[in-house]
Amino acid sequence: MVQIDKVNKSYGGTQVLFDIDLEVSQGETVCIIGPSGSGKSTLLRCVNYLEEINSGQIWVDHDLVGYRVAGGRLHELRENEACKQRVDIGMVFQNFNLFPHMTAIDNITLGPILAKRISKANARKAAQELLNRVGLGGKEHHYPSQLSGGQQQRVAIARALAMEPKVMLFDEPTSALDPELVGEVLAVMKDLAQSGSTTMLVVTHEIGFAREVADRVVFMDAGRIVEVGSPSELLDTPKEERTRAFLSAVL
Ligand code: ADP
Ligand code: MG
Say yes or no: CB of residue 175 within 6 Å of ligand 1.
no
Which pLDDT value is given to residue 224? 98
Residue 196: count other Cβ atoms within 10 Å of its Cβ.
10
Pocket perturbation via mutation, ligand 1, pick of 17, 41, 221 by most ligand atoms within 8 A of CB: 41
Judge contact between 177 and 183, C-beta under 8 A: no
Nearest residue to 248 via CA among 212, 222, 216, 219: 219
H runs (alpha helix) in the chain: 40-47, 79-86, 104-115, 120-133, 149-162, 179-194, 207-213, 231-236, 241-250
Atom of ligand 1 nearest to the CA of 42: 6
pLDDT of residue 82: 83
Residue in 16, 20, 203, 220 to alter for ligand 1 test, most ligand atoms within 8 A of Cβ: 16
pTM here is: 0.95
Average pLDDT over the chain, rounded to an integer: 95
The pLDDT, as a whole number, for residue 225 is 98
Residue-level pLDDT at 80: 82
Picking from 196, 247, 251, 208, the residue whose alpha carbon sits closest to that of residue 35 is 247
The CA distance from 241 to 132, in Å, is: 44
pLDDT at 106: 97
Residues near ligand 2 ion, CB 5 Å cutoff: 41
Summarize pLDDT for 186-201 with one digit per residue, the tens.
Answer: 999 999 999 988 999 9
Atom of ligand 1 nearest to the CA of 203: 2
36 lines ligand 1 (CB under 6 A): yes
Cα 17 to middle of ligand 2, angstroms: 13
- Ligand 1 binding pocket includes 204 (Cβ within 6 Å): no
Residues of the chain with pLDDT under 50: none
**Closest ligand to the CA of 40:** 1
pLDDT digits 0-9 by tens, 47-77: 999 999 999 999 999 888 988 888 888 888 8
Say if ligand 1 is within 6 A of residue 42 CB: yes
Number of CB atoms found within 10 A of residue 121's CB: 9
Whether 37 is in the pocket of ligand 1, judged by its Cβ within 6 Å, is yes
pLDDT for 245 equals 97
* ipTM value > 0.90: yes
